[in-house]
Amino acid sequence: MESTSGNLKALYFSPHFWWTNIERGVYLADAFGKEIIPDFEFRKWLRDEKVEHDSTIIHQEGDHTYFINPEYGEAIKNDYFFEVFATSKYGHKVTARSVEDLYSKHQVDEKAKMSYSFKVDDLTHFISMYFQNWLLFDTYYDWVKWQLYYDFLLSKLDNPLKELYQYMWTIVLNQVELQHNLFKDVAQYKKFRDKLDSITKESNFIENKITEIRQKKAEQI
């Protein structure tokens, strides 16, 4: 069983720290997003956008780790969704905030498959919450959980939204990396550093794309 003694040093990652750096990440992603996609508002997208999936099971297909690791199986469980959709007996798309409400308020076609929507803003909240928990408690559960929601959301995004979202998180996580003395130990820091390196490589597209756009604009002057 994992120790839950906690990492008291992580308490120095204050609410102000998270608010300031997430806000900075959103600001830069919004600014770069406008250069890549005219009239695009990353901040509005982050707040209002939803993604859809045909199940509340959101771990990656083909991932069978849960067969050999019960702890992993517990961590990848998900009971969150924003709305559930189905088809009524009359062929109309109907929606509700819960499966119970869906059946109580609509005549649902029992043969039709249900689908679910997930708010980007809510998923981002879960990513942040479980990552912060991992910094504080260093549990396997929290480590798997924040990546569950992160990987799921990325799987639902196309470029350049996918890269913009990753870029936002590189801004935040690089600020965490600067506070390396606040990690529980070298092992926790190395685990984080390896993941950050992976995310950073995948988000390099944004800065390269911005450089390309600005060079083209300069050539036109």
- The tens digit of pLDDT for each residue in 61-86 reads 656 565 568 888 899 999 999 999 99
Q: How many domains does the chain have?
A: 1
Domain-located, residue 55: yes
d(CA 176, CA 123): 20
Domain-located, residue 5: no
pLDDT tens for 153-178 read: 999 999 899 999 999 999 999 999 99
Domain-located, residue 217: no
pLDDT tens for 89-137 read: 999 999 999 999 999 999 999 888 999 999 999 999 999 999 999 999 9
Domain that holds residue 22: 10-212
Domain-located, residue 130: yes
CA-CA-CA-CA torsion sign (211, 217, 219, 221)? negative
